[in-house]
Structure 1
Amino acid sequence: MTPPTTQVDSPPSHRWGFGAFVLAELVLILSAVFLSAAAGPVGVDEPIPPIVIVVVTALPTMLAAGVAVLATLLRGNGPVTDLRLRWSWPDVRAGLKLGLAGLVLTAIAGVIWARTVGKLDPSSALASVVDTQPLPLALGIVMFVYTWLIGPACEEMIYRGLLWGAIERLRWSRWAAFVLSTAIFAVSHLEPLRTSLLLVIAIPIGWARLVTGRLPASIVAHQINNFVPAVGILLMSLGIWR
């Protein structure tokens, strides 16, 4: 599939760079560690409280995205300009097409990954936890909405927004921004066994940012990619699918 090409805006002028991205990453990692520690130790056979699963999963990424927005407000032109958050229907359509193409690519890569690695499940760490410990319906719905809509938007603001903008500020090429943001996105999930699969997943998402020059296309592509695992988490929470 050949993605639609739209006019790419000139790089915005801002005073934030890699330092802002590093700060956002530190907030993500340290808040996850702090929240996990604050929840207290959990025994081997002791179930993790459902609310802890939701908070530790969702809050760090949302806080890191908040850092991205704050950086643009304090040292730039605001998130719409600096993170390229200006919405348009052509961008949305590009994100839908590339997201659907990414679903096919991800499905193929998932089969290859599972056969290569062996019996290990290619699903995310969150899905593995929910599989063994279903969430109550209300929290299951919260995690469905987060996994499908909120999480992808937050991650895109961090990686294809803040990180991409930091690379642009150095006057590196868009291809360098695409390659670096794709690689760092995959590694930053801290799931070594799934890094190669996450690289494949990230390619159509980053491509949406590359060809449109704006973030909404990659957000939509990411949300399309996350819809199937989000439904899986919801069905696990309902006890329908294991």
Structure 2
Amino acid sequence: MTAHQSREPVENLTPAYQGQELAAPRPAPPHRWGFGAFLLVEAVLLASAAFVSALLRRAPREGSIPMRDVLIGTMAPTVTAALVAVLITVVRGNGPLADLRLSWRWDDVRMGLRFGLLGLVCTTIGAFVWTRVVGEENASSAIGALVEDQPMAVSAAVAMFLYLWLLGPICEEVIYRGLLWGAVERMHWGKEKWGRLAAFLLSTAVFAVSHLEPLRTSLLLVIAIPIGLARLVTGRLLGSIVAHQMNNFLPALAILLTALGVVHL
């Protein structure tokens, strides 16, 4: 190669070779999905829940609750809806990592643990007060009522525990503090964006109502507030996922022990 061929114009060299700092990466372009995407995902959640409920009612069952009923009845609707949410970010946006603000940061984990601990305290106090108001006979959640006085196979009980503790919170956060949050942040009131505070308030309310347990809505609001605060403070989804998982651990453990017949609620 000749000396002439080895030379590049200065303007074609990278900034590093020009003695300058590397430019910051360009922000991802705005995603092309909005509130309609959340409504679609919510419709998928409700439709799939109704479908599997009808399917399981027709299927004969003898003895303990089998793994099939846990996988299909409890997990399938939420997991399916979360997968649709992720697919929307791929097809109409920049993918789940960018659009849902999902990235691994230890600071977010630590913040999520703090808000999860706050959530445990709030949930414990809220559940105590709420139980005294509505009565113990009405205090069970839908899943808690499922396992009460009904044996469950060990494999099904363990799968239920892992779902309630780990997988379920991920799916719900993708839907509510991911897709819904991102949609609300882009909405406008006149010329002003609704912003993060509006996203926190609306996602908290919709999360509580969407469980379709009217009697427990007030308690679910108490549960949802610390989880939403983790998303609000960190600005990313990992914090609320960790807070949600931590908040779900003790209830999931109680349902596991109840399903195995170790304790009786």
* Contact 2:56/2:73 (<8 A) preserved: no
Aligned AA (2:79): M
Number of the residue aligned with 1:30: 47
Name the larger-Rg structure.
2
Indicate the SS of the match to 2:101. Answer: coil
Question: What is the one-letter code of the residue matched to 1:239?
Answer: G
Structure 1 CA distance for aligned equivalents of residues 29 and 111 of structure 2:
22
Q: Is the 8 A contact 2:70 2:159 kept in 1?
A: no
Partner AA of 1:113 in structure 2: W
How many angstroms apart in 1 are the aligned matches of 2:87 and 2:59? 35
Structure 2 CA distance for aligned equivalents of residues 151 and 55 of structure 1:
13
* CA displacement, residues 49-104 of structure 1 (integer Å, 9 cap, x when unaligned): 53224411111000000011001000000000001111100000000000011100
- 1:13–1:169 CA contact under 8 A, matched in 2: no
**Alpha-carbon deviations, 1:12-51, whole Å to 9, x = none?**
61000111101111111101111111223489xx878532
2:195 is the counterpart of 1:187: no
SS in 1 for 2:148: helix
Q: Secondary structure at the match of 1:40?
A: helix
Unaligned runs of 5+ in 1: 1-9
Q: What is the TM-score when the length of structure 2 is the normalising length?
A: 0.83
What residue is the counterpart of 2:101 in the other structure? 84
* Kept after mapping to 1: 8 A contact 2:64/2:152: no
Alpha-carbon distance change, 42 to 67 in structure 1, aligned in 2, over 3 angstroms = closer
What residue in structure 1 maps to residue 229 of structure 2? 207
Matched, 1:21 2:38: yes
Q: 8 Å contact 2:93–2:99 — kept in the other structure?
A: yes
Identity %: 60
2:33–2:92: 8 Å Cα contact kept in structure 1?
yes
CA–CA separation in structure 2 for the residues paired with 1:56 and 1:179: 30
User: What residue identity is the alignment partner of 2:169?
Assistant: P
> Equivalent residue for 1:150?
167
C-alpha displacement of 1:123: 3.3
Deviation at residue 225 of structure 1 after TM alignment? 0.6
For residue 98 of structure 1, the aligned residue among 115, 138, 145 is: 115
Matches of 2:90 and 2:150 in 1, distance apart? Answer: 40
Q: Which amino acid is the alignment partner of residue 94 of structure 1?
A: M
Aligned partner of 2:149: which letter? T
Q: Distance between the aligned counterparts of 1:221 and 1:142, measured in 2?
A: 21
Q: Quick one: distance in 1 between partners of 2:141 and 2:54?
A: 22
Q: Any gaps of 5 or more consecutive residues in structure 2? A: 1-26, 188-192
Does the 8 A contact of 1:160 with 1:215 survive in 2? yes
Given the alignment, which residue of 61, 68, 73 partners 2:78?
61
Cα distance in 2 for partners of 1:22, 1:71 equals 12
- Indicate how the Cα distance of structure 1 residues 93 and 178 shifts in structure 2: closer, same or farther if over 3 A, else same: same
- What do you get for the CA RMSD once the two structures are aligned? 2.0
Bigger RCO (CA 8 Å, 6+ sep): 1
